């Protein structure tokens, strides 16, 4: 699914202030510095990877992914069924 569809879905979740995309590490760092987020939420599969821009984010929170769930599957379901 296109990133726009994923972003639209994620931004519809209650409590999400903003969703941004980026094309490079430098662009991500620029967005983080511009937006000055209080917290960045990242899938726990990135726990042991380098987090780009971590020096500009006061708090990183990892979420545990739900087995057999993905935005692609949720978006697919939403397109064929009414949510």
| Structure confidence by residue, pLDDT tens digits, 38-74 | 988 888 888 899 999 999 999 999 888 766 666 556 5
Indicate yes or no: pTM above 0.85: no
pLDDT (0 to 100) of residue 1: 58
Given a contact cutoff of 8 angstroms between Cβ atoms, the answer to whether 45 and 67 are in contact is: no
Given a contact cutoff of 8 angstroms between Cβ atoms, the answer to whether 57 and 40 are in contact is: yes
pLDDT-derived band at 78, boundaries 50, 70, 90: low
What residues contact 62, with CB distance under 8 A and at least 6 apart? 41, 42, 43, 44, 46, 47
pLDDT (0 to 100) of residue 19: 84
pLDDT (0 to 100) of residue 41: 84
Given a contact cutoff of 8 angstroms between Cβ atoms, the answer to whether 41 and 61 are in contact is: yes
């Amino acid at each position: 699914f296109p990133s726009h569809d994923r972003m639209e879905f994620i931004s519809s979740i209650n409590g999400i202030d903003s969703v941004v995309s980026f094309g490079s590490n430098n662009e991500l760092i620029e967005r983080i510095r511009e937006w000055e987020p209080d917290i960045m939420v990242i899938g726990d599969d990135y726990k042991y990877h380098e987090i780009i821009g971590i020096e500009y984010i006061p708090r990183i929170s990892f979420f545990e992914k739900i087995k057999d769930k993905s935005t692609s599957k949720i978006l697919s379901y939403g397109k064929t069924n009414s949510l």
